[in-house]
Amino acid sequence: MIFLALISAYNLRFFSFLTSFFPVTKGIPAFVFYQHAALFIVPLWIFIFFRFNFYKTYFIPALDEIIRTVQAVTIGIVFLILATFFYREFSFSRLVFFVFWATSILYIFAFREVFKLIFRGLLRNIIGRESILVVGKENEMLKIVLKRNPHLQVYYSPYDEESHIEKIKNTVSEKKVNQVILTKTNWSENALLSMYDWCESASIDLKFVPDIVQLCRGEISIDSSLGIPIFHLKSISLNGFNFIFKRIFDVFASSLILILLSPLLGLIAVLIKFDSQGPSIYSHKRMGYRGQTFNFYKFRTMVQDADAQLEKFKAMSERQGPVFKMSNDPRITKIGKFLRKYSIDELPQLINVLKGDMSLVGPRPQVLWEAAAYDDWAKRRLRILPGITGLWQISGRASLSYEEMIELDIFYIENWSLGLDLKILFMTLPAIFGKKGAY
């Protein structure tokens, strides 16, 4: 695909309509010079694609695929252009490289999408889809990972107790399952060994979502570099260049949204003033990146002395853990109910994004007394900028438990990509208007 993209770029530059806009003034160079460049391009790009996980065995959605392809090809082109500065025997056409950038993205993305279609067709019609049975408590993080592999047929067992082993075995046989995944089971050692022996005799893979020292709350891999298999906890993926890239996107997008919505924001501010006493914008201290506090902005949706009244209602919180949530909070104003229902009260946080306190997507910033109750696991959320929306907001909002909320935030931190951010942003509006968990 790389070589084909280079041939296309060469022909488009020197033998197509482009010559009308960009005339060839020094004659048409021999393609052999670009062939020599290809000898440098191919090994370099294979390495870059490897670093961008192009050769992983799982498939990713088309939106993630195109973003990843653009990133990898752009880096490859930058290295190629830098290399040509040191090659003085021939002057390469910069326009060829620009067209090569576009054709590479097009050909590589198209090839991978066609390959996915063919492979999935083979799985459905010839090879057969790989089937998985998930046994145990529903695990939001596992569900997200399985959704990234649409070629898998996933079943969820209604039976998860040790006494249900025979029923689980029957389900495996009926569904013709290839893998069994146990999540957070409290089975005895004998029961686990019995299940393992049965799966082994039936040539079925048995896998576990580990629950040792809360390993289930972060992505792990098996590291054998020391000669023995040990668990390796995945570190956050949002650092270095990724952090800078995300910040540039945040500033550009939040500025554009603020400009477009400025008339609406002004109208809402006026309506709040008419509805109840107090300022239109509510400012409150929240904990953000690396435990730093900042002034968090929202449209005011509660009565003016809401914070003073909080102690009276803490015991009535409908969510376990340190986060306070109450569906019929008497402190909420009339217009506040509408603003909260559709999350319009969050829009002033675009100012926080511009200031660098927050990001468009990330874990929600918590009030100080909630953050003070974090355990070590939950404190990992403080290792990136908090966000206006996030993975748990599009997965149920306030209807999720505190533990599920943290799990989804940790998953986001460990698996960040621009594609994931864009998907969350695109899914935020349907989640808001779906109103699930909105209060």
Q: How far apart are CA 244 and CA 316, in angstroms?
A: 42
* DSSP-assigned letters across all residues of 332-354: B-HHHHHHHHTTGGGTTHHHHHH
Which of 20-34, 71-85, 101-115, 226-240 is the least confident region? 226-240
User: What pLDDT, in 10s, does the model give residues 55-105?
Assistant: 765 666 777 788 888 888 888 888 887 777 766 666 777 788 888 889 999
> Mean pLDDT, to the nearest integer, of 395-423?
78
Query: For residues 174 and 273, what is the distance between their CA atoms, to the nearest angstrom?
Result: 63
Give the pLDDT of residue 217.
46
Q: What pLDDT is attached to residue 215? A: 46
Residue 213, helix vs strand vs coil? helix
What pLDDT is stored for residue 123 in this prediction?
62
For the segment 371-376, the average pLDDT, to the nearest whole number, is 71
* pLDDT tens digits, 195-213: 877 887 788 888 877 654 4
CB contact at 8 A, 431 and 393: yes
What does the pLDDT look like over 315-368, one tens digit per residue? 556 555 555 566 677 788 889 888 988 888 999 999 999 999 999 999 988 888
Instruction: Tell me the CATH number of domain 129-209, given options 3.40.50.2300, 3.40.190.10, 3.40.720.10, 3.30.420.40.
Output: 3.40.50.2300
Q: List where CATH 3.40.50.2300 sits in the chain.
A: 129-209
**pLDDT attached to residue 317:** 61
Q: How large is the angle between the packed helices 62-84 and 32-51, nearest 10 degrees? A: 130
Sign of the torsion formed by the C-alpha atoms of 215, 220, 221 and 227:
negative
- pLDDT score, position 422: 84
Lateral strand order in the sheet of 293-299: 293-299, 281-287, 366-367
Question: What's the pTM value of the predicted model, to 2 decimals?
Answer: 0.55
Q: Which residues contact 310 (CB under 8 A, 6 or more apart)?
A: 324
Return the SS3 of 319: coil
Using CA of residue 328, residue 389, residue 253, residue 290, what is the dihedral sign?
A: positive
